[in-house]
Amino acid sequence: MATEKMKVVIIGPAYPLRGGLATYNERLARAFAEAGDAVRIVTFSLQYPDFLFPGQTQFSTEAGPADVAIEVSLNSVSPWSWWQVGRRLRAERPDLVIFRFWLPFMGPALGSVARLVRGNGHTRVVAITDNVIPHEKRPGDGPLTRYFLSACDGFVTMSRSVLADLQRLGFGSKPALYRPHPLYDNFGQIKPKAAALQALGLSESTGYLLFFGFIRAYKGLDIMLEAFADARVAALPVKLIVAGEFYEDAAPYNALIQRHNLEERIVRATDFIPNEQVVDYFCAADLVVQPYKNATQSGVSQIAYHFERPMLVTDVGGLAELIPDGVVGYVVPPSPAAIADAIVDFYANSREENFASGVREQKKQFSWPLMVAALKQVAGLGGKNPE
């Protein structure tokens, strides 16, 4: 089976939805196509009801990918939709269906589809589990998550901490593999820092740290702002770029900025960042900062790896697994003082080029063919790791 062309369906966010999950799933579909498989994505006609969505819009304003087959048909809150999608896929008999699972809310929809599909006795069902214990916990998370997980034949996790969580939840007997998040290599090629700064209208006489992505409590922007208020950091010719949409109330962050008189040292880009602008934000940065309070893995790290930017991450969840301390950047405790210490060291000792060299070497391990092989392997469909 491993050498034959497979029929593969990926179920999860994709265009016209936007965000990191959609970007990942579309890139994964290309990787299966490059391996010679027939692949399409089934995405949501309704992902979240509006009252549950914290951002401005769930939908992209950019053109959709021309090279990926995407079916928009699954409604996360409509059992009739689950039944329709599940019955259709059961009849189609794909070899492999891959679910992207990141939130207990999705458990009923995805778990119901998975059960229907597996009823054909042929299709193998595998989940890429971003999280099985969510960052922001709510009543009912456990039963919703177990309903989905129990419908799967195997799992691929992108952090060892999630692999351990699967075992703690009682799913250790099912096939599961850890494979790190592959590179986000779909945002264009590296460009010179001067060109990126010019594109953003930023001065070349200042250094820049980059906090990138949706802003939620667990991502620790408040910790970063407190670190930026440290007198030693304040003495540096450096600004903090905050690039990403608020997925919660911005008022507490604005209050911190005002309290510490940081306004002149913050570059605000707090709207959704279109794909074609991602290159400029990363290539303009000296250091990409992820001051998370808890985490499993992060696509931000993999964008930074692609653009060969040094990183600062906190020692929580799976972040440190991918960021060798002192090689590609810093792994520090999630405290303002520790983050400030690292920032001062970075500039005082001119670490940028040495860390960037380490990034160039480390990035070689983050391969999409390895992820494709892992998904096939846990499904029992071959998938030995490519050389």
Domain boundaries, the chain: 7-182+367-378, 193-365
What tokens appear for 34 in the block? 């490059």
Q: Which of 41, 31, 40, 38 is nearest to 5 (CA)?
A: 38
Give the whole-angstrom CA distance, residue 108 versus residue 114.
Answer: 10
Phi, psi of 41 (to 5 degrees): -110, 135
The mean pLDDT of 156-171, rounded to a whole number, is: 90
pLDDT tens digits for range 215-239: 888 899 999 999 999 999 999 999 9
Task: Quickly tell me which residue has 């920032």 as its tokens.
Answer: 343
Q: Which of 105, 136, 124, 64 is nearest to 295 (CA)?
A: 136
pLDDT for 57 beyond 90: no
Beta pairing class for 124-129 and 96-101? parallel
pTM of the prediction? Answer: 0.79
- What is the residue type of 237? P
Q: What is the pLDDT of residue 383?
A: 61
3-state helix, strand, coil in the chain (%, to 5): 40, 20, 40
Phi, psi of 345 (to 5 degrees): -60, -40
- Cα 142 vs. chain centroid, distance in angstroms? 22
- What is the residue type of 152? C
Q: What is the pLDDT of residue 316?
A: 87
Q: Which residues contact 60 (CB under 8 A, 6 or more apart)?
A: 15, 16, 17, 18, 22
Give the whole-angstrom CA distance, residue 306 versus residue 182.
Answer: 10
Give the whole-angstrom CA distance, residue 85 versus residue 179.
Answer: 29
Q: Are 47 and 58 in contact (CB under 8 A)?
A: yes
Is 193-365 in the same CATH topology as 7-182+367-378? yes
pLDDT for 54 beyond 80: no
The mean pLDDT of 344-352, rounded to a whole number, is: 97
pLDDT for 314 beyond 90: yes
What is 7-182+367-378's CATH number? 3.40.50.11930
Which of these CATH numbers, 2.40.128.20, 3.40.50.2000, 3.40.30.10, 3.20.20.120, describes 193-365? 3.40.50.2000
pLDDT tens digits for range 17-53: 878 899 999 999 999 999 999 999 999 999 877 665 5
pLDDT for 131 beyond 90: no
Identify the bridge partners of residue 177 per DSSP, sorted by sequence position: 156
- What is the residue type of 59? F
pLDDT tens digits for range 61-98: 677 888 999 999 999 999 999 999 999 999 999 999 99
Which helix (H) or strand (E) segment is 230 a member of? none
- Cα 69 vs. chain centroid, distance in angstroms? 21
**387 pLDDT band (50/70/90 cuts)?**
very low
Give the whole-angstrom CA distance, residue 187 versus residue 270.
Answer: 19
Q: Which residues of 319-332 are buried (b: 16+ CB within 10 A; e: fewer)?
A: bbbbbeeebbbbbb
Q: What is the pLDDT of residue 184?
A: 87
pLDDT for 364 beyond 70: yes
The mean pLDDT of 348-372, rounded to a whole number, is: 94
Question: In the chain, pLDDT over 90 holds for what percent of residues?
Answer: 72
The residue that leads in pLDDT, 382 or 313, is: 313
Give the whole-angstrom CA distance, residue 47 versus residue 79.
Answer: 13
Q: What is the pLDDT of residue 135?
A: 65
| Distance spanning both ends of the chain, measured CA to CA | 19
pLDDT for 386 beyond 50: no
